[in-house]
């Protein structure tokens, strides 16, 4: 028996709705599930933000001292 996933948080759901509008490049090739695609992209992005790869020099948050 699997545990059902909790409902998406309103902010995340709003972001997915906004991101589910296809970009021109995506319109050219189409998408069967733009909402699902947007949710997957946002989940992956959130995972990278919450758990950055310590070996990746581009991961992690920068401070104002690291900017120009």
**Whole-prediction pTM:** 0.46
Number of domains in the chain: 1
H or E element in which residue 25 lies? helix 24-29
Q: Is residue 65 part of a domain?
A: no
Identify the DSSP state of 65: G
Report the distance separating Cα 54 and Cα 56, nearest Å: 6
DSSP-derived secondary structure letter, 63: P
Mean pLDDT of all residues in 31-55: 85
Asked if 42 and 12 count as a contact pair (C-beta separation under 8 A), the reply is yes
Residue 5, in any domain of the structure: no
Q: Which residue has the higher pLDDT, 63 or 44?
A: 44
Which domain, by its residues, includes 28? 12-49
Q: In degrees to the nearest 10, what's the CA dihedral of 42, 45, 49, 54?
A: 160
Q: Which residue has the higher pLDDT, 48 or 58?
A: 48
């Amino acid at each position: 028996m699997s545990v059902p996933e909790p409902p998406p948080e309103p902010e995340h759901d709003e972001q997915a709705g906004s991101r589910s509008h296809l970009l021109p490049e995506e319109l050219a090739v189409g998408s069967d599930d733009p909402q699902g695609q947007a949710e997957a992209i946002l989940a992956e992005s959130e995972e990278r933000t919450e758990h950055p790869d310590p070996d990746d020099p581009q991961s992690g948050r920068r401070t104002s001292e690291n900017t120009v």
